[in-house]
Structure formats: C-alpha cells, structure tokens
Amino acid sequence: MKRTTTLLLSLLLLTTTLSAQPKVIAHRGYWRAEGSAQNSIKSFVAAAELGCWGSEFDVWLTADDQLILYHDDSLGGERVEKLNYTDLADYRLSNGEPLPLLVDFLRVAQQYPDIQLVFELKGHHNREREMLAVKLAVDMIEQMGLAHRTDYISFSHAACKEFIRLAPQNKVFYLRGELTAGQLLDEGFAGADYHGGIYVGNPKFVDELHKRGLEANIWTINDPSDQRRAIALGVDYITTDYPELLVK
C-alpha cells in the first residue's frame, strides 16, 4: 500500500514537472502588495519575496538624462521625456516613495539575486533620446553586474533593434504585436511579449514561435480563467497584476 502511494506520488511529481509551467512575471512589480505602488522599489521587493520569476518595470529618460521608473507618457500634463528629474523631487508615488531613479532601483535589485529584471523602455517621441536611453540603460545594467538577469522589452521597434545591437547577449522581446514569428527571428528577438488577444486570435502562434526556438510571453493576464487558458496555450511566461494566483 505504502509502495503504491509512493509510486503514485512519484508519477504525480513527474507529470507536474513535465507539463510546462509558465514563468510568472509581476507586471510593474507586485504593486498590489500592502504598502506598494506600481513601479516602486517596494513592488519589486514584494515580487521577489512572493517568489515571482521576474518583475517588470517601465523606464523613461528625462530631459536631464536620468533614467527613472514611471509608466505613463505624461506627468502633470507634460511628457515625461521633457521633464527634468530635478523638478520631480517632490513627486511621490501612491505609497509615499519618491519617483525611483533606475540606479537606486537596481541597487536594490542587486540584493535580490533570484529574480529576473524585465526592463521595459517606454517609447520616446524623440528618436535620438530613445537611442541614448537604450545606451545608458545597457551600460548601467552591465556596470551593475545585472546583465545576466535582465530581459529587455519595448513597444518601440527602434528601441528593440538598438537593444539587440548593443546587448546581443540579452533576450529582447517585442510588445506591439505586428511582427510575425519569422520576422522576430530574422531581427534577432528572443520572442514575442504580446497582448493576450493576439495569442487567442492565432492559436498556432505559440507553436510558430517555438518551432523557431523563440519564446512566448503574454500580457496582462489577471483573471484566473484567462491564466488557465494562457497555460493551456503553452506560453513560456505570463505577465500579470495578480502573480500571487500563479506563484504557489
């Protein structure tokens, strides 16, 4: 009897290991944790403590050449890329944190070595500034010894191509969704990080990626039934505001 139980348990364990479990990425950190806020340092720490595989965050380059964490295009009615960080000194996130400088955020990330950084560069209107943002970002990530733990993502095709050029050892995923699996491969992407609707609209897309050795990340999958559907699609990563539902 005991032997049968052990055998059954082993089989169960084997089945669980064999069925692909997507890696869980906290979208803008685990910002729903107590005392947290989107793109805050606290949200990153909360994602790490929850046991997420990765934590996603959004980065802008300000007019005075500071890389900062922030999601929206504008702040106080002005585009973030036109603001000086020095003028934002009094700005507070909803949890009371100052607007994080990327360098301060990465110093904290160095203390949590088990979580992957999913670095989204926001699409800047000024192409030259965007290219500078990529260069500054790659340099900072490399100088701080975090390159082996960083994936780059962007809606900006130009920014992605620059990441691929400057950081060929890193994985780069495209967010916007119009490139085919073949185009992603040709351009040197690691895979797609596309909206859920694209995967649902083309159920063969995950296979098309995998056939080419590319990976599939899906966003932003919050509802438990959508999370189950994403797992059934065979994606490699799920980006979610509700990582606690997936991380067990």
In the complex, the residues that contact Mg ion under the rule CB under 5 A are 58, 120
What are the phi and psi torsion angles at 83 (to 5°)?
-90, 150
Residue 59: CB minimum distance to Mg ion, A = 9
- Single-letter amino acid code for the residue at 139: D
- 58 vs 162, beta carbon nearer Mg ion: 58
What are the phi and psi torsion angles at 59 (to 5°)?
-130, 135
- 153 vs 185, beta carbon nearer Mg ion: 153
Residue 146: CB minimum distance to Mg ion, A = 18
- 177 vs 234, beta carbon nearer Mg ion: 177
Residue 2: CB minimum distance to Mg ion, A = 50
Task: Determine the Cα–Cα distance for residues 109 and 207; give it in Å rounded to an integer.
Answer: 33
Residue 232: CB minimum distance to Mg ion, A = 25
Q: How many CB atoms lie within 10 A of CB 126?
A: 14
- 81 vs 120, beta carbon nearer Mg ion: 120
Residue 9: CB minimum distance to Mg ion, A = 40
- 70 vs 199, beta carbon nearer Mg ion: 70
- 120 vs 162, beta carbon nearer Mg ion: 120
Residue 189: CB minimum distance to Mg ion, A = 17
- 75 vs 185, beta carbon nearer Mg ion: 75
Residue 211: CB minimum distance to Mg ion, A = 28
In the complex, residue closest to Mg ion by CB: 120
